[in-house]
Amino acid sequence: MNLAPDDLYQRIEMRHLFCREWSLVERHARFVASGTGLSIAPSSASPDGGLSGHSRLVRLHANELQLDGQLRCLPRSLPFEDDSMQLVVARHVTDCLGRGSGIEAELARVVAPGGLLMVFGFNPVSSWRPWWSARIRDGLPAPRFRSARSMRRMLAEQDLSAGRSEFLGGVWPSSLPPDAIADARSSGAFWHGVWLLTARKQRFGMRPVSPLSARRRVGMNPGLLQSSSRRIAS
């Protein structure tokens, strides 16, 4: 029996993991200038919270090969202006979309110079692998694992400077509340289930971007204000 990705993210272990991830987002966001932000989650079952100083937070989530939520678009064509987001949070998007989606270049394009990009991914060398194997046998889809080192190289190609890798989630998925789990900086953190990379754009990018005529229009979900502009500016 093949189960939908949302069945994975509705598990109590994943819900507690996402709470712990968002607490890290809140911690880092305190040191980011206020302005428009973008949050991309792995599914509609993994919502985020609010952020002080970033009330204009666009929320999207992966839905098969596209992104859905407040907007609907393809990963390789985010409908935002270049350098328009002070904070961009991408949680397990590459685990869902895999290589070749084009999302990495788009995340780098929309983050503002001096802004912060946060990318979370499941750790391919963590002690969670037996747990993942059991879930896959149950019919849940396997994550498209990518290492923090691989993501660091990808971000460097997009002129983003990444800080040190952080690890969280513990050595085994837990159904205990997040405050009962040992801090990610404890010994053995390299084997924890999730990695986090934070990166900043140091200057205005000089990369060529695709012409406006080639970028696909996106559909707005019901209830979202329609605008004559196809893009959202900060």
pLDDT at position 69 over 50: yes
**Segment 216-230, tens digit of pLDDT:** 544 445 444 333 434
**Segment 105-164, tens digit of pLDDT:** 999 999 999 999 999 999 999 999 999 999 888 888 888 999 999 999 999 999 999 999
Homologous superfamily of domain range 5-220: Vaccinia Virus protein VP39 (3.40.50.150)
Distances (CA, A) of 192 to 26, 38, 91, 96, 158: 20, 26, 16, 19, 27
CA distance 55 to 35: 8
User: Domain locations in the chain?
Assistant: 5-220
3-class SS of residue 197: strand
**Segment 27-50, tens digit of pLDDT:** 999 999 889 999 999 988 776 778
DSSP 8: H
Give the contacts of 149 (CB within 8 A, at least 6 positions apart). Answer: 165
**pLDDT reported for residue 216:** 52
Angle (CA) 191-157-184 rounded to 5° is 20
3-class SS of residue 211: coil
